[in-house]
Structure 1
Amino acid sequence: MRVTTMDRYLPQPGRVVEFVPSPATLAVADTAVASTIPPSFNQRFHLRTADRAPGSPRHWLACAFDITGGPIDTGALRATFEEWVRRHETLRSGFRAAPEGPPGAERFVLPAEKVELVVGDAEEYVGPKEVRGRLARRLDETCRPLGWPTYFFSAILRPGGATVFCGFDHCNMDGYSLAIAVHEIRESYAVHAAGEIPAPDLLPETGSFVEYCAVEQERAAGPAPDRSDPVIARWGEFFAACGGTTPSFPLDLGVPAGERAPQGTDCRRLLDAEGAAEFERRCRAAGGNVFSGALTAVGLAARRLGGGEVVRLCTPLHTRYEERWENAVGWFTTVAPLTVDIGGAAGVAEGSPRTRAAFREALRLAERPVAQVLTALGGDVRRTRDDVFMVSYIDYRRFPGSESHLACNAHHVSSVTTADDAQFWVSRTHEGVFLRSRHPATPHAEQVVQSFADTMGELLAAGAGGAPVGI
């Protein structure tokens, strides 16, 4: 599954058709009663940010994949989408401004049996950029944190098949969920297109992200920890080492705190499949793994470019700890505070065991909900930038259907917004290891991040047995 952004995604042209809620379903949404389940911590932050800057770029995630072998059965695809929304409760939920309290504090949920989708208008496009423009506009209009629906379903129809393109506001989706979406929609459509009724066991049982939000609320309702809690103290030390704020990219990007710039993006492959396998072998032989090796490369690249020997960052983690959440769609993530110390490291593989040990410590700290951490630390932590320097890692090979991702042209597509710091997504597929960089699109920041990504690529290649690289 290729990870990219909307400005880099160029779908093949065709006839774009949408699948939208019926008027009767929209009427149900308009009158849905308030739910007793509050937004999750991530959702509350997302809603506050959206409200603070109305008209700002939307934060949505999308997935796309191709169906080939003949014309698409739009009726079968409509039925597939309808069943899928009924399956995942978070897609039937939305937020609205509550009569009292902050906007977005009130959740509502549509009953599954009230969800009905219809085939909307279609329009022909002759060029990839025109199709992309249509999709981007509709995503911005539809995938929003307040209101319902928060999703966008479409297909680009051609004589020999179609590209299915689905977008979601970040409130209801994370990177894992996109891979789940590709697999489940493909499986369900194949059955519907064959004129069959999907068997009850076609897709595995799954829990609801709305239920997860209730569980999160219950866990956070206990006595709040104070600064004497060892985990809180370690979080406090991490923020203090970052200057009393969240971590920033260790190289100067030339964007002062409090200012933002249009977002720049870089997408590249760092290792092919053979190189990734050898890199993994060498990292594991040294006591690390691919992720700790990539994080070590982050530290080594920063050091080579003048960033010092210690790099502090946040790394996103999934929170699907229970079996019922494994196949659920939602925003199941938290973050861990990670300190990468590459002092004395001679190379990526050799330095990966220490980084892996640091990651284990970060996992222990991430067991405490971030909301509790920030409450306990109070004014000791202040936000000087909107973005947090982070490095994410997903191994897409672990997901059902991943062996077909290349053949069906599966993509994870993110919106293009603004940026005031650098962020990185490392992904592994059956085709190798890839890097997506997000950063301010200023000439200086572009040059710095390009050099950083180049250096990471050289370090990983050397770690996989390529030409020696001076560090």
Structure 2
Amino acid sequence: MRMRMLLESDVPPGRLVLWRVAPGTVAAAQEAPEHPAPPSFVQEEHLRQALVRRSHGRRQPRWHAGAVEIAGTVAPAALEHALTGLLERHDTLRSGFRTDGTRIHRFLMAPHVIALVTEDAGEFDTSAALCEHLASYFDDAIRTLEWPAYTFAAVLRDSSATLLAAFDHLNSDAYSVATAMREVHELYTAHVEDRPPALEPAASYLDFCAAQRQDPIPGEEVAAAVSHWAAFLSDGLLPQAPIEPDVASGPTPTLVNQEFEFLNHSIVAAFEKWCRRNGQTLFTGLLAALGQASFAIAGRSVFRTIVPLQTRKDPAAPSLGWYINAAPIRFTVSSRDSFESTLADAGTATRAALHHLGVPFERVEYELDGELIVQSAFWTSYLDFRPLPGTRHQKPVEAQLLTGNRSGTGIDLFLNRTEAGLSVRARLPDVEATRGNVAAYLAAFTETVTTFAS
């Protein structure tokens, strides 16, 4: 699954069809009874931040979308059948939240009561005009504090179609978007072929949310996680990117999401083999290479970042939801001549972070008695899209992960592995000097990986 910004993507033009949850269903949701499952810790934090922004008259769209190609002449009715099937399978998409000012509580719609309505948005002659329209539509239609926080679209052509599904982060992480696109593709294909869909039963995200609160975390585990974070923040500062964003004073620049490097499958497999010979994983090796690059480019002898880690209880069960915890990574970087030492230190740091994965970051933040604006920190995301849950009976489906526009001054990295190799992307301010700095940094990272892969 390749990641890119929607406005920089190349979705072929055609006739645009939109699907929204029907107004009658939205009205019925206002009367839906309260459901006992609380929001997950990360959902609650996301909702509270959205409430704060609303109280200040601000709103920042936080959606991401999946796009998948479907061959042949596609009927909108068949796509609607597949989208309805997706809503019936996953409880988080039928679930929303209300707040009375002090408490956030959940409601849940029954599987077979959600109806979709179709809107024909007309023909688009260019990809640029189409993507600009879609980005504006997703920005307006997807609101964290309003249900449903998702919407669907398709671009129809004579011999193919592009299906898009956009979700607020409240309902999904990147794995969930990839899972949703594979499932919709299979639901559509099974419908037109008049056969049952080859899908595993979906796991409940609401059950996961309930278990987070019902299963008490031992006090010593919480204390250990808090101590780990406190040591990471010993200087009182969140980690920043090893390269300077080089942003001048003035209006906050738009962030762009750009692919800087791509390492093919052979290089990635060879580097992974080298890492395992040295007792480490590919993920650890990639972190070590990023640390080595920060030493080479910026002279930093300590590498610090925050990584999002999966919290799915059963990785084999397909489930849509936001299964993410934040983990701090800090290790010492040695000289180029002792990369094995850097790799070992990165491995120790990664294992320490994984040891505290069962304690949600939001609980740590509460215990630290202060709000950590981790969104402003330097994040490094690694995702392996090859073994998606519940897809062992399906043919591979090539999909894209599309993101919307945001503004900011920070830099984040995204390392996404597919069958083809490793995409190395950065989200960074749209400033020419910053692009040059990031390009040099990631070129040094790539040089380290390719050197030890050979």
Question: TM-score if structure 2 supplies the norm length?
Answer: 0.91
Secondary structure, counterpart of 2:356 in structure 1? helix
Secondary structure, counterpart of 1:147 in structure 2? coil
Q: CA, structure 1 residues 382+22, in 2 after alignment: closer, same or farther (shift >3 Å)?
A: closer
Is 1:64 the equivalent of 2:46? no
Q: CA, structure 1 residues 7+348, in 2 after alignment: closer, same or farther (shift >3 Å)?
A: farther
Please give the per-residue CA displacement for 1:46-96, whole angstroms capped at 9, x wherever unaligned: 22332333444311111111011x200221111111011011010011223
Alpha carbons 1:251, 1:307 under 8 Å: kept:
no
Match of 2:427? 438
Match of 1:99? 100
Partners of 1:223 and 1:234 in 2: CA distance: 16
Match of 2:92? 90
Please give the per-residue CA displacement for 1:228-264, whole angstroms capped at 9, x wherever unaligned: x333222211111xx2132222333245999943213
Partners of 2:357 and 2:299 in 1: CA distance: 26
Match of 1:198? 196
Secondary structure, counterpart of 1:32 in structure 2? coil
Is 1:219 the equivalent of 2:195? no
Alpha carbons 2:7, 2:128 under 8 Å: kept:
no
Output aligned runs, 1:29-428, within 5 Å.
Answer: 29-54=29-54, 55-68=58-71, 70-96=72-98, 98-101=99-102, 105-194=104-193, 196=194, 198=196, 202-219=198-215, 229-240=223-234, 243-254=235-246, 260-322=252-314, 326-344=317-335, 346=337, 351-379=342-370, 382-383=372-373, 386-399=375-388, 400=391, 409-428=398-417
Partners of 1:56 and 1:270 in 2: CA distance: 34
Alpha carbons 1:267, 1:436 under 8 Å: kept:
yes
Is 1:22 the equivalent of 2:22? yes
Partners of 2:368 and 2:112 in 1: CA distance: 45
Q: CA, structure 1 residues 143+457, in 2 after alignment: closer, same or farther (shift >3 Å)?
A: same
Q: Counterpart amino acid of 1:138?
A: Y
Alpha carbons 2:365, 2:372 under 8 Å: kept:
no
Partners of 1:361 and 1:256 in 2: CA distance: 37
Q: Counterpart amino acid of 1:236?
A: A
Please give the per-residue CA displacement for 1:394-420, whole angstroms capped at 9, x wherever unaligned: 111112379965xx5410112221123
Alpha carbons 1:305, 1:452 under 8 Å: kept:
yes
Secondary structure, counterpart of 1:112 in structure 2? coil
Q: CA RMSD in A?
A: 2.6
Partners of 2:211 and 2:278 in 1: CA distance: 39
Match of 1:469? none
Partners of 2:444 and 2:335 in 1: CA distance: 18
Sequence identity (%): 29
Alpha carbons 2:141, 2:151 under 8 Å: kept:
yes
Partners of 1:99 and 1:375 in 2: CA distance: 22
Partners of 2:158 and 2:233 in 1: CA distance: 56
Q: Counterpart amino acid of 2:283?
A: F
Partners of 2:109 and 2:77 in 1: CA distance: 23
Alpha carbons 1:389, 1:422 under 8 Å: kept:
yes
Q: Counterpart amino acid of 2:407?
A: T
Partners of 1:80 and 1:278 in 2: CA distance: 40
Q: Counterpart amino acid of 1:413?
A: L
Partners of 1:75 and 1:32 in 2: CA distance: 28
Partners of 2:46 and 2:377 in 1: CA distance: 14
Partners of 1:301 and 1:353 in 2: CA distance: 16
Following TM superposition, by how much is the alpha carbon of 1:449 offset from its aligned partner in structure 2, in angstroms?
1.8
Between stretches 27-36 and 299-308, larger displacement belongs to 27-36
Q: CA, structure 1 residues 414+131, in 2 after alignment: closer, same or farther (shift >3 Å)?
A: same
Q: CA, structure 1 residues 191+404, in 2 after alignment: closer, same or farther (shift >3 Å)?
A: closer
Partners of 2:67 and 2:192 in 1: CA distance: 19
Partners of 1:181 and 1:413 in 2: CA distance: 13
Q: CA, structure 1 residues 402+140, in 2 after alignment: closer, same or farther (shift >3 Å)?
A: farther
Secondary structure, counterpart of 1:114 in structure 2? coil
Q: Which runs of 5+ in 1 are unaligned?
A: 466-471
Partners of 1:350 and 1:71 in 2: CA distance: 56
Alpha carbons 2:292, 2:334 under 8 Å: kept:
no
Secondary structure, counterpart of 1:267 in structure 2? strand
Please give the per-residue CA displacement for 1:181-206, whole angstroms capped at 9, x wherever unaligned: 12211111111112x2536xx31122
Q: Counterpart amino acid of 2:206?
A: V
Q: CA, structure 1 residues 10+316, in 2 after alignment: closer, same or farther (shift >3 Å)?
A: same
Partners of 1:192 and 1:226 in 2: CA distance: 48
Partners of 2:275 and 2:250 in 1: CA distance: 39
Please give the per-residue CA displacement for 1:330-350, whole angstroms capped at 9, x wherever unaligned: 000001111132224536567
Between stretches 156-165 and 32-41, larger displacement belongs to 32-41
Q: Counterpart amino acid of 1:94?
A: G
Secondary structure, counterpart of 2:269 in structure 1? helix
Partners of 1:280 and 1:444 in 2: CA distance: 33
